[in-house]
Amino acid sequence: MKEFLSFNKMITPAIITIIFYIGSGISVLTGLVMMFNSGESMTPGLQILMGLFTMLLGPFAIRIYCELLIVMFKMNESLGKIASDRNEEEEKIG
């Protein structure tokens, strides 16, 4: 609890995982809605194709976005570890 309140432990990577699953689900549902509403469109074939692209490429794009966010947090963790290792070495020397 102390790490959480002092912001030493990040909870955002876990939230990003949840955002990925929610975003992927919304993307698939949006694609399905686009496909089922194609009968009302003037170009039903194009609407079905766009629905398929949304269902396939939407989760892929969301995954890339989420991975970019997680990379920033991984860099933060790595820099924190480097700083703590350096402090430990300085304490041993001095």
28-59: per-residue pLDDT in tens?
999 999 999 988 888 889 999 999 999 999 99
Structural domain including 66 reads 2-84
Q: Is residue 66 part of a domain?
A: yes
Residue with tokens 């766009």: 50
Q: pLDDT value at position 94?
A: 66
Quote the mean pLDDT of the chain: 90
Domain count, the chain: 1
Q: Is residue 29 part of a domain?
A: yes
Q: Is residue 89 part of a domain?
A: no
Which contiguous run of DSSP H or E holds residue 37? none
Residue 8 has pLDDT above 80, yes or no: no
Q: Is residue 53 part of a domain?
A: yes
pTM: 0.74
Q: Is residue 42 part of a domain?
A: yes
Contact 34, 47 (CB under 8 A): yes
